[in-house]
């Protein structure tokens, strides 16, 4: 049911987004999202991206298996305020830490939030992420708080 609703939301947003741009509706923030290097699972990431768009964020979706370097490059190139990473596999979680470190070393000011089935608030704290969301709805709330 959630996936069906997400697909419906995606279809609706494809129709609404051009109209919102024409009407001059300003996004509440710019959000870059992708799965960490080595992780090809994107259902959760896609749900978060769709819900963020519905909440008024401009979302740039890098897709799956994104290297730390690509996150840094795209964050610098697009003036992103928030970076979101998702991991479904515990084996790909270390790539989150590498990405957080790479973003900090590059001097970008974007806030970083992470999520995914094996991810916890404790892990977010350990790697220096600015936030953790357990599901798509809490990801939207967290993103709004981080850009406030």
Q: Please tell me whether residue 114 adopts helix, strand or coil conformation.
A: strand
Query: Are the C-beta atoms of residues 121 and 70 closer than 8 Å to each other?
Result: no
Higher pLDDT among residues 8 and 72, named by residue: 72
pLDDT at 1: 72
**Beta carbons within 10 angstroms of residue 1's beta carbon:** 5
Pick the closest to residue 142 from 108, 129, 41 (CA basis). Answer: 129
pLDDT at 20: 65
d(CA 135, CA 37): 20
d(CA 31, CA 143): 8
Q: Could you read off the pLDDT of 56-114 as tens digits, one per residue?
A: 999 999 999 999 999 999 999 998 999 999 999 999 999 999 999 999 999 999 999 99
In the predicted model, is pLDDT for residue 21 greater than 70?
A: no
In the predicted model, is pLDDT for residue 10 greater than 90?
A: no
pLDDT above 70 coverage of the chain, percent: 94
pLDDT at 74: 97
CATH for 2-147, options being 3.40.50.300, 3.40.50.280, 3.40.50.2000, 3.20.20.70: 3.40.50.280
Query: Are the C-beta atoms of residues 62 and 84 closer than 8 Å to each other?
Result: no
Q: What is the mean pLDDT of the chain?
A: 92
């Amino acid at each position: 049911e959630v996936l069906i609703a997400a697909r419906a939301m995606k279809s609706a947003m494809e129709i609404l987004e051009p109209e919102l741009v024409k009407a001059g509706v300003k996004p509440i923030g710019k959000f870059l999202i992708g799965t960490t290097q080595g992780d090809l699972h994107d259902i959760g990431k896609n749900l978060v991206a769709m819900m963020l768009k519905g909440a008024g964020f401009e979302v740039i979706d890098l897709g799956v298996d994104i290297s730390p370097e690509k996150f840094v490059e795209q964050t610098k190139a697009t003036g992103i305020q928030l970076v979101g990473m998702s991991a479904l596999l515990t084996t790909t979680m270390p790539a989150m830490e590498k990405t957080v470190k790479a973003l900090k070393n590059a001097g970008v000011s974007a806030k970083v939030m992470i999520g995914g089935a094996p991810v916890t608030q404790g892990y977010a704290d350990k790697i220096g992420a600015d936030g953790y969301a357990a599901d798509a709805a809490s990801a939207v709330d967290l993103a709004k708080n981080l850009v406030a």
